[in-house]
Chains A and B, each alone.
Chain A
């Protein structure tokens, strides 16, 4: 019902619309179409002779190389070597990192001692320490695992103690007001409260681990995706080389997916 007292003036106009936008969506057909277009252009460029297949093999050749690697079992041997290094190094670094991170989140002495150490050591590209670890532990698996563990450790320490810092003090006071013992407060309030931060740290530490395993394997290893990619390059087998890189991409994706699942399950209360 319009207000009868006000007749429309000749200059009456619609209020101009100013909202909208800033709400991009993800359309799966565009995603797939982009992938198809890029791969198609790449394949076309190589098949049409625009690019030399030695420098950039076509997607199809890469796929064939990958297939032969799978069939011969070579891929699994390299993958298994890399995965066991990542697994061990990441697990050790993560455990140590969470323990130290919680201590730094709890105690003045650990915090005051820890922050300058972490600030000084975190920015070092950890691969630079590999030669030192080789001197310490000899050639073999240990220096690689220690390098990965070291890289993972610092990322985890930082994620953990910022996570612990982020737990509202009011929740801790609540625990104390009910007479909860110190250990109970750490286990039931501090750690679950820091979990979102720790899990976010897992993403960083996982990509650090992947980066470090490939670098370490390029420095000296018989087995592993890194050494495979390097030797394929030395032999100018670019199709094999890129097949190895594709495997790394899939590996990174899988780890990311796994972490998303883990987050969804552990943080289902959010």
Chain B
């Protein structure tokens, strides 16, 4: 299944947030979206996932989702969006409860998703007892349990410290390379984008417009090698030069105009 943005534009009242966004996510591709804060990345993701009606253009799908996919477009949220009154297992199960599945099949899926992301020992624990990294693992397990075709990830690692982020990024990459789902991965972190993405979409400051679309020419599995590191550093530098100025201006902008 392939997801396209067709001329998406959006305003909140008088505040124009997005303008003329066009792109297409190929099957199995990870597209990173970077841009200064407040440029409309979250808004774009909400529109792509059908949580927000755009003023202009539309989000469109081509092709059928895999037969076993219960929720083709699935979000992973920056703030995890876990229900504090449900255990880890209960939070993951929530995504399945309104689908026709037999009890054993549902339990089996939940167990498999929890095991895949390393949560097997934390099944009966409440979210408040978990670290931020573990909470986001629950968020990822909940997303994987519905067998998504396309993951929509809104700065999933931003609320975490650098080390946790590193660990989770590697685990996520392994899962993704196995499952071959596509993803739109919103971030403001260049390192994350360069580690995970096939292509990087750079947005300008608000109103977010497409500034650049850059392909990362090295397969993800090879990006940790020394030679690749040098090439990625150069790419990182170019990208940083391109967004630095915008980030500075965006930083000085008032949010509530």
**Interface range on chain B: under 10, 10 to 19, 20 to 34, or 35 or more?**
20 to 34
Task: Assess A192 versus B85: contact at CB under 8 Å? Given A170-B79, A178-B94, A269-B126.
Answer: yes
Task: Assess A178 versus B95: contact at CB under 8 Å? Given A269-B126, A269-B128, A270-B128.
Answer: yes
Verify B51–A177 contact, CB threshold 8 A. yes
Q: Which residue of B lies closest to A181 (CB)?
A: B98
Bound CA span A202–B94, Å: 28
Cβ 8 A contact of B74, one of A175, A177, A267: A177
| Interface flag for A180 (CB, 8 Å) | yes
**1/0 contact string of B65-109 vs chain A (CB within 8 Å):** 000001101110101010111100000001101100000000000
**Interface range on chain A: under 10, 10 to 19, 20 to 34, or 35 or more?**
20 to 34
| Interface flag for B113 (CB, 8 Å) | no
A residues less than 8 Å from B98 (CB atoms): 179-181, 184
Shortest CB–CB separation between residue A76 and chain B, in angstroms?
Answer: 39
Verify A178–B128 contact, CB threshold 8 A. no
| Interface flag for A261 (CB, 8 Å) | no
B residues less than 8 Å from A269 (CB atoms): 84-86, 126, 128
A residues less than 8 Å from B95 (CB atoms): 178
Verify A171–B81 contact, CB threshold 8 A. yes
Cβ 8 A contact of A192, one of B71, B74, B83, B146: B83
A residues less than 8 Å from B79 (CB atoms): 170
Bound CA span A51–B95, Å: 70
Bound CA span A180–B128, Å: 24
| Interface flag for A69 (CB, 8 Å) | no
Bound CA span A184–B49, Å: 20
Verify B84–A270 contact, CB threshold 8 A. yes
Verify B126–A174 contact, CB threshold 8 A. no
Shortest CB–CB separation between residue B90 and chain A, in angstroms?
Answer: 10
Q: Which residue of B lies closest to A172 (CB)?
A: B81
Cβ 8 A contact of B81, one of A170, A184, A195, A270: A170
Verify B128–A173 contact, CB threshold 8 A. no
Verify A173–B84 contact, CB threshold 8 A. no
B residues less than 8 Å from A222 (CB atoms): none
Shortest CB–CB separation between residue B72 and chain A, in angstroms?
Answer: 10
Shortest CB–CB separation between residue A156 and chain B, in angstroms?
Answer: 20
| Interface flag for A188 (CB, 8 Å) | yes
**1/0 contact string of A162-196 vs chain B (CB within 8 Å):** 00000010110111111111001000110011010
B residues less than 8 Å from A188 (CB atoms): 83, 94, 97
Verify B81–A178 contact, CB threshold 8 A. no
Verify B83–A176 contact, CB threshold 8 A. no
B residues less than 8 Å from A270 (CB atoms): 84, 128
Cβ 8 A contact of A184, one of B77, B97, B128, B146: B97
B residues less than 8 Å from A168 (CB atoms): 81
Q: Which of B51, B79, B86, B94 has the most CB of A within 10 A?
A: B94
The residues of A with any CB-CB pair to B shorter than 8 Å are: 168, 170-171, 173-181, 184, 188-189, 192-193, 195, 267, 269-270
5 more contacts with CB within 8 A, not counting A174-B81, A177-B49, A188-B83, are A170-B79, A188-B94, A188-B97, A269-B85, A269-B128
What are 20 inter-chain pairs, A to B, with CB distance below 8 A? A170-B79, A170-B81, A171-B83, A173-B51, A174-B81, A176-B51, A177-B74, A178-B71, A178-B94, A178-B95, A178-B142, A179-B71, A181-B98, A184-B98, A192-B85, A195-B85, A269-B84, A269-B85, A269-B128, A270-B84
